[in-house]
Amino acid sequence: MLAAIFGVSGLALTQEERSFFQDVQPLGFIVFARNIETPDQVRRLVDDLRSTLSHADAPVLIDQEGGRVQRLRPPHWRAAAPAARFGALARQKAQAGAKAVFLNHQLIGAELAALGIDVDCAPLIDVHQPGAHDVIGDRAFSGDPEEVATLGRAAAEGLMSAGITPIIKHIPGHGRSMVDSHHDLPRVATPHAELARTDFLPFRKLNDMPWAMTAHIVYEAIDPTLPATLSSKVIAETIRGEIGFDGLLLSDDLSMKALNGPLDDLTYRALKAGCDVALHCNGKMEEMRLIAAGAAPLSKAAEERYTRGRRQVGKGKVAQIDQVEAELTALLA
């Protein structure tokens, strides 16, 4: 298996995409709004993607956080509330907030499972910081690191109860970014002790999660030159060391403008720095070929992390969905 996850261009696989995936054998795939029309169409696409690979249980990812970031939307799917709404509830009633987060993510998980999608790029456990860029904003549960950790665990456990693998993001913390990493490279000058007390805390408390996604951010107190995704120092000393995360480490999308340079080189550098898997999302064939050229087979350590994560999640299923929806509605009311 190639240490890469790819997107696709449209609602169905092209012959060129099919041949490419059969040839390079990526670990898995990610789907976006451009790939989504109806439940039946999404199920066909997901099945078709997996059929191109020799490992039939290949992970298929999606960004389904709720609020601004949800690829599945009405009329076929539920409009889930943003994380900040659950944080507000938790500040009034802590137990009710955590329960609502769990139920909400159970429902998200059930929707994904019905489509054959088995990995969610959620929960976002970045800590909201006043004055930071709105790229995080209401996607964060709270500005309180302990509250973020509590609600983040409830979200992850809700997904896992439905058989969905959660990805905590953006490790080691994106909440202080003053620019949008989709367009520019953020730099954070906050002292290390303050980062450890705030931004890193939710990731440390959820370091037992199966997957995490890196932040394309320069943390000047740790590595003043390279963003976390490309920094062996940040990955080894902070993510694997100080935070203690030993699950599968996925890069954020390598086509984001925060990173500069040829995509084959960026892929090589991300994997060499310590990312287990390179993520590429836009489905552009010429870019995917470069990612494949720069990637390597999944390392033995990454295979072990991937296998351990699958065992950790298991094959949960949500029963009595109507009852779960009713209980969530009552809590949010």
Active site residues: 182, 252
Work out the angle at residue 83's Cα, subtended by the Cα atoms of residues 257 and 35, and round it to the nearest 5 degrees. 55
169: which residues sit within 8 A by CB, 6+ positions away? 121, 122, 123, 124, 125, 126, 212, 213, 215, 252
Task: State how far the Cα of 154 lies from the Cα of 87, in Å rounded to an integer.
Answer: 12
Task: State how far the Cα of 100 lies from the Cα of 108, in Å rounded to an integer.
Answer: 12
Task: State how far the Cα of 190 lies from the Cα of 292, in Å rounded to an integer.
Answer: 36
Neighbours of 46 (CB within 10 A): 21
DSSP for 98-120, please give it: HHHHHHHHHHHHHHHHHHT--EE
Report which DSSP code applies to 80. Answer: P
244, 249, 251, 252 alpha-carbon torsion, rounded to 10°: -70
**Closest Cα to residue 34, out of 72, 61, 77?**
72
**Closest Cα to residue 168, out of 152, 179, 157?**
152
From residue 37, how far is each of 10, 41, 43, 74, 113 by CA, in Å? 10, 6, 10, 11, 17
217, 222, 226, 231 alpha-carbon torsion, rounded to 10°: -100
Beta bridge partners, 213, equal: 169, 250
